Structures are given as C-alpha cells and as structure tokens.
Amino acid sequence: MTLPASGSFTQAGGDIRETPAQPLWQPADMPWELREHAGRHFAVLFHYALPDDAWAVELSEAVPVTAPAAENPDVAVTHVPGAAFLVALVPDEDPNLEPTVRVYSPEERVVPYEIMGWFMEQVADQVDRCRIAFEQGGSEAAE
C-alpha cells in the first residue's frame, strides 16, 4: 500500500514531526514519500547536502505523528520520516563523480527487498535529474 505520495509536515498548529522522545530534525518543506510494507512504514526524503555538494536521498523507517496532530481531522499524514539509516548522495556539479550510498545505523536493520528497490528507484530518478540538469547547464534545474 502506498501512502500519500508526498507531504508537508506543517499544519495550523506548527510542525507535526515532533515525537515524544525526540526533537524535530528537518525543516518542514522538504519533499518526501511514504510507503507501507508488511505493517512497517518507510520514508524517502530528498534534500540538498551542502557539505557534500550533492542531493541526498534518505531512507528511514517512518514514525507515527504525535497524538495531537493525529487527532486533527485536517491532517492527512499519519507517519513522517524518522532518522535516516541509508543516504544516497547524488553529486550535481560534476557528472564524473559517482553517486554513493552511506549506511547510518548503530544497530542491525532489516530492509525488505521491495522497499530497497523503491529506494533505489528514487535514487536512480535523482541521478537522472542531476545529469539532465548538468547537460542543460545548471544544477539548479535538478530541483
């Protein structure tokens, strides 16, 4: 089952990504996608990683929204991106640099094959966008 294709973390009362155990970790306007697999929710979040001069495509296990946000009938989002455990970096200024994948996890993670395939499709799409933008003369077109 695919959840809303992308979302905004903002509602009238503010940003809804805060969980009881952890603070906010990303600005509310970054595009993201959710997918459910076998009762688990996963998220792919896109943002520009300035220190790496590359687009970052992050895979995380999604976390439920806080209770007050979940009780608001105007909020269609039930889960939001959690802490990333896989991050693909896609360079956008030099087509000779290869995309890379970094693993961030102090504990073992099991990622279903279907979810890994979905994540890699998102990475491949970002690679294509960056290469097309470079050929057209600017990394800003990759946005």
Calculate mean pLDDT across residues 93-117: 90
**pLDDT(11) > 70:** no
pLDDT score of 27:
41
pTM of the full structure = 0.70
pLDDT band at 9 (very low <50, low <70, confident <90, very high): very low
Q: What is the dihedral of CA 74, 76, 80, 86, to 10 degrees?
A: -150
Q: Are strands 54-61 and 40-49 parallel, antiparallel or unpaired?
A: antiparallel
CB count within 10 Å of CB 18 equals 17
What digits encode the pLDDT tens for the residues 56-87? Answer: 999 999 999 876 655 666 667 788 999 999 99
Q: Is 100 helix (H, G, I), strand (E, B) or coil?
A: strand
Centroid of chain to Cα 74: 23
pLDDT score of 30:
66
- Token pair for residue 57? 């495509």
Helix H or strand E segment including 54: strand 54-61
Instruction: Report whether 77 contacts 113 (CB < 8 A).
Output: no
**pLDDT(123) > 90:** yes
What digits encode the pLDDT tens for the residues 31-58? Answer: 889 999 999 999 999 999 998 889 999 9
Q: What is the rounded distance in angstroms from the CA atom of residue 15 to the CA atom of residue 8?
A: 9
